[in-house]
Amino acid sequence: MTEYNPFERGSHPVGTRQFSWIDQSRDHEMPVDVWYPATNAHAGEDFDPDKMARYEIVPGLGESSQHAVMNAESESGCFPLVVFSHGYGGERRQSTFFYTHLASHGFVVAAMDHVGNTIINMISGQSKTGDIEFMRRFILSRPADASFVIDQMIAGEAGIEIDANRIGMSGHSFGGWTTLKTLETDERVKAIVPLAPAGGKTSDGENPLPDALTFDWGRTVPALYIVSDLDSILPLSGMRDLCERNPEPKIVVVLENADHFHFNDDVEKNQDGFKLFIEAANADADEEAKRGMDEMLSLMKPSTELVPGNHAYALINGLGLSHFDAHLRSQKDAADLLQRDLSSVMADQGITISLMV
């Protein structure tokens, strides 16, 4: 019998499909991408530069690629589902390293754009950082987006059979908050992996996100938090507050010498690019905004002084898969791994973590 190794890529080639679905109850259209196990006819194609899916996030800023084949034939079967929610000013393909890893191990992953709160909306001025009323709009709409995507996936709208009893959720930053909030209204979600989630208590002005979370789920939902010790956008103190409020069972893993963008594809590019963006935005900001940006900049290190993005990918892929294997598939070997000394488990991968207790 092969030893359980969640850090290795799975045996399935990975396909991806794109959809645009309309929630008629809200007159709300959203792009959704889905990743899934593909047939063996596509073996190796998800790592072939000529066949890997390519996409453009911001027009004119070049293409990105992912380890998946566009519109590949899907493997037959009934699969567990993981829904992913992007961060504030992000977009649905922000963490394809994680989606494709899960899909290679037999999961289906669906990630939607939270329309109005994406990077395109920010660039166009439609998404307003720091606007409390604007934020409250997404307190309502983001969980509704996630539940609608679950509805669509169970209904077979992606052309893949989903096991409605094996559904998990993950998300980064505001998407981590969305993951926690969705549990209050959607009992179908059975396990979660919040990545550097928003929603912890802060000292800098009005913030509606902490009070919007009740943690009253009416059921047991195993949680694996993965956060970073040098998060310049959502500091570790806020993560501690969130995790103290989160009921058991929970595991909180802290990646050492990492920042907020270690949960995205292209960590180094995002880390250094965001730092330049903040520096440029600071020139035109009002005094209060400048103080906040100056504080953020003082905490934000260049990527060369942080752990490589590959460390974050291995951590999230390995432990994230283990968590969903344990709690959506009842795999004993995955549950056993999570009960081990995770610092030692990750040290064997050359990665330094600590556990928040």
DSSP letters along 124-157, please?
TT-S-TT-HHHHHHHHHHHHHHHHHHHHHHHTTT
Give the per-residue pLDDT at 289: 67
Beta-strand pair 54-55/64-65: antiparallel
Nearest to residue 15, comparing CAs of 94, 88, 72? 72
Confidence at residue 60, expressed as pLDDT on a 0 to 100 scale: 74
At residue 126, the pLDDT reads 56
Say what the pLDDT of residue 285 is: 61
Tokens representing 108 are 């289906």
Q: 328-340: b or e for each residue (b if 16 or more CB lie within 10 Å)? A: bbebeebbebbee
Instruction: Give the pLDDT score at 58.
Output: 78
Distance in angstroms (rounded) separating the CA atoms of residues 81 and 340: 26
Distance CA 92, CA 59 (A): 16
CATH, domain range 14-355: 3.40.50.1820
Cβ–Cβ under 8 Å, residues 191 and 324:
yes
Rounded distance between C-alpha atoms, residue 208 and residue 177, angstroms: 11
Query: Could you list the pLDDT tens digit for every one of the 357 residues in the chain?
Result: 579 999 999 999 999 999 999 999 999 999 999 999 999 999 999 999 999 999 988 777 778 999 999 999 999 999 999 999 999 889 999 999 999 999 999 999 999 999 988 887 776 665 555 566 777 888 999 999 999 999 999 999 999 999 999 999 999 999 999 999 999 999 999 999 999 999 998 766 678 999 999 999 999 999 999 999 999 999 999 999 999 999 999 999 999 999 999 999 999 999 998 877 766 655 666 677 677 778 888 889 999 999 999 999 999 999 999 999 999 999 999 999 999 999 999 999 999 999 998
